[in-house]
Amino acid sequence: MDTTPASDLPAVVQATPTPAVPPEILEQVLIGGDLSRLTEAQRLAYYRAVCQSLGLNPLTKPFEYLTWYIRRPSIRIWTI
């Protein structure tokens, strides 16, 4: 049995929280699929969430980012 005092155990590293997404940008992502106004951290969190919801491993890179230039640049994920 381990008798290491709790004060000698390493501290737990906390992950940096993903910044909150304003509602108008969230709507743009969820309804229109445009990720261009998300930060890199928010895009990564979204990518991971999509992979998790489909049971895919994000390390296998099941999606690519596509940049479309219609009126202004927009970024979308696409299956490869």
- The residue type found at 6 is A
Residue 13 lies in a domain: no
- Is residue 29, in this structure, part of any structural domain at all? yes
How far apart are alpha carbons 62 and 4 in whole angstroms? 43
What value does the mean pLDDT of the chain take? Answer: 79
How many domains in the chain?
1
Taking 60 as the threshold, does the pLDDT of residue 62 lie above it?
Answer: yes
Asked whether residue 14 is domain-assigned, the answer is: no
Neighbours of 58 (CB within 10 A): 14
Residue 46 domain flag: yes
Residue 53 backbone dihedrals phi, psi, to 5 degrees: -65, -25
The predicted model gives 7-19 an average pLDDT of 61
Evaluate if residue 58 carries a pLDDT over 80.
Answer: yes
> Is there a domain that residue 1 lies in?
no
pTM over 0.75: no
Burial of residue 35 (CB within 10 Å: 0-12, 13-18, 19+) is buried
Are 35 and 65 spatial neighbours (Cβ–Cβ below 8 Å)?
yes
